[in-house]
Amino acid sequence: MNIDSLNIAPLLIEGLTACQYQSLTDVQQVVVPFALSNNDDLGVCAPTGTGKTAAFAIPLLQQLLASDDVDNGAVKVLIMTPTRELAIQIGENIEQYAQFTDIKVLTVYGGSNINPQRKALAKGIDILVATPGRLFDLCSQYGLQLDQVTQLVIDEADRMLDMGFVKDIQKAKRLLAPQHRTMLFSATFTEQINALANTMLAQPKWINVSAKAGAAKIDEQVFLLDKRRKSEFLAETVGRQNLQQVMVFVNSKESAELLAHELLLDGLSCAVLHGDKTQGSRNRSLADFKAGKVKLLVATDIAARGIDIQNLPLVVNYELPEEIEDYTHRIGRTGRAGNQGQAWSLISPIERQQLHLIEQDIERQLSVSSPAGYEIGAPLPERYRELMTKKPKKLFTPKKYEHKKKTSASRQGKWQKKSK
């Protein structure tokens, strides 16, 4: 289905065309016509990279353009999302779709100065994209009113559920106009998501887009090697193949910092993205990676949901995810919107059981191979043998602590002398 066949405003078609939209994805072909033709609640389960943002944004923008109260300054559409990065991306996408219209879009999230967001709200906006915490800060501290919101979108509902935002969603719904439509989007459909939908949606229309079609676009490979040599293999392969854009997933901020340090020592440009970074730092890392200023982005699962990097060729699981379902979200950063992509997983023998659980979850077996020269049991390079033969260093005792011990003993000796 082509966007020209949709019954939407010419200015909206012009904005979508400028964003290089021509034909609709599978989820868009089902969601957009339904949402344009009626106002019922809607639940959508679709894998990552299938164009969910445009699926809900096109009907919302068309409804605003067709209404008479766009210029009254009140928020009419609320989009709730779990993470700051996803909120920023959704806001930017909708602004691009609406670039030839007068519709005003604002994105609010924690970790940044609230004053610019408050001032923008005071000038009047139509669509508000928000993370829960900052949304309620603006409501409680600055009097943000949501009573004219008639459209609510809950994006990444499964992630919202995992992060404990259910009560926040329920609280937000109580602040909206009595008659409003809710559209819930989730990458997975579980019993918990079904229960959440039943409490928040009134007789919803359910749309389920199979994940199998998307999986065929991603070439998945698993490399078995010594845990100590993962960074060596990654650095060598990126350099030898001259790879220009690689997203690397790890499980903790400590792992992210350590790996980034090792890659920098190997002469590879990289950026780091994890929850302990400031929002400004996270934005810069993502922007530099998208712009090609750095080759590798080392990230925790904060980047596994929703972030869209156009034509990202390769995703690497440096460590298998601790949560099984996050495997699908991670590799979903590549092979998006029908493009081809590659996903590598670097595993050590101890991670085979975790790989088996992932295979059960995705319902397919992954091919495992050992890169030449990196086979288990192969002789380690000289630098590893040197590390193994070195004697372990003595435990470091801070001088400050030693000084206190000596001082304490000295004082005790003096006190004993005086006692005598």
Q: Are strands 341-347 and 218-224 parallel, antiparallel or unpaired?
A: parallel
Comparing 85 with 55, the larger pLDDT belongs to 55
Q: Which residue has the tokens 């989820």?
A: 27
What local confidence, expressed as pLDDT, does residue 70 receive?
Answer: 60
Q: State whether 139 and 246 are in the same domain.
A: no
Residues 300-319: tens digit of each pLDDT = 988 777 677 778 899 999 99
Q: State whether 124 and 233 are in the same domain.
A: no
Q: State whether 276 and 155 are in the same domain.
A: no
In a domain, 23, yes or no: yes
**pLDDT class of 84 with cuts at 50, 70, 90:** confident
Last residue of some domain: 158, 192, 210?
210
At residue 89, φ and ψ (nearest 5 deg) are -65, -45
Q: Give the total residue count for the chain.
A: 420
Sign of the torsion formed by the C-alpha atoms of 79, 80, 81 and 86 = positive
What local confidence, expressed as pLDDT, does residue 192 receive?
Answer: 84
Q: State whether 226 and 362 are in the same domain.
A: yes
In a domain, 288, yes or no: yes
For residue 292, give Cα distances in angstroms to 286, 297, 308, 330, 348: 10, 10, 14, 20, 30
What local confidence, expressed as pLDDT, does residue 351 receive?
Answer: 95
In a domain, 258, yes or no: yes
AA identity, residue 81: T
Q: Above 60 in pLDDT, residue 385?
A: no
In a domain, 232, yes or no: yes
In a domain, 396, yes or no: no
In a domain, 412, yes or no: no
Q: State whether 135 and 80 are in the same domain.
A: yes
What local confidence, expressed as pLDDT, does residue 346 receive?
Answer: 97
Alpha carbons within 13 angstroms on the beta-carbon side of residue 59 total: 25
Q: State whether 149 and 255 are in the same domain.
A: no
What local confidence, expressed as pLDDT, does residue 406 receive?
Answer: 42
Q: What is the overall mean pLDDT for the chain?
A: 85
**pLDDT class of 254 with cuts at 50, 70, 90:** very high
**pLDDT class of 180 with cuts at 50, 70, 90:** very high
- For the sheet containing 341-347, what is the strand order? 270-273, 296-299, 246-249, 314-317, 341-347, 218-224, 368-369
What local confidence, expressed as pLDDT, does residue 386 receive?
Answer: 55
Last residue of some domain: 375, 394, 412?
375
At residue 18, φ and ψ (nearest 5 deg) are -65, -25
Q: State whether 200 and 220 are in the same domain.
A: no
The set of residues, in sequence order, having a beta carbon less than 8 Å from that of 146 and lying 6+ positions away, is 75, 78, 139, 172, 175, 176
What local confidence, expressed as pLDDT, does residue 68 receive?
Answer: 67
Q: State whether 30 and 157 are in the same domain.
A: yes
**pLDDT class of 283 with cuts at 50, 70, 90:** confident
What local confidence, expressed as pLDDT, does residue 162 receive?
Answer: 80
Last residue of some domain: 190, 210, 230?
210
Query: By the 8 A CB rule, do 186 and 44 touch?
Result: yes
- For the sheet containing 42-45, what is the strand order? 105-108, 127-130, 77-80, 151-154, 181-186, 42-45, 205-208
In a domain, 399, yes or no: no
Q: E strand or H helix at 380, and its extent?
A: none
Q: State whether 142 and 250 are in the same domain.
A: no
Q: State whether 315 and 172 are in the same domain.
A: no
Total number of domains in the chain? 2
The CATH code of the domain that includes 82 is 3.40.50.300
In a domain, 205, yes or no: yes
Q: State whether 45 and 194 are in the same domain.
A: yes
Residues 88-120: tens digit of each pLDDT = 989 999 999 999 999 999 999 988 899 999 999
Enter the tokens of residue 150.
Answer: 């008639």
What local confidence, expressed as pLDDT, does residue 126 receive?
Answer: 95
Average pLDDT over residues 244-251: 94
Range of the domain at 299: 215-375
The set of residues, in sequence order, having a beta carbon less than 8 Å from that of 366 and lying 6+ positions away, is 220, 221, 222, 345, 355, 358, 359
Q: State whether 230 and 184 are in the same domain.
A: no
| Range scoring the smallest mean pLDDT among 84-88, 117-121, 150-154 | 84-88
**DSSP states of 338-373 as a string?**
G--EEEEEEE-GGGHHHHHHHHHHHTSPPPEE--TT
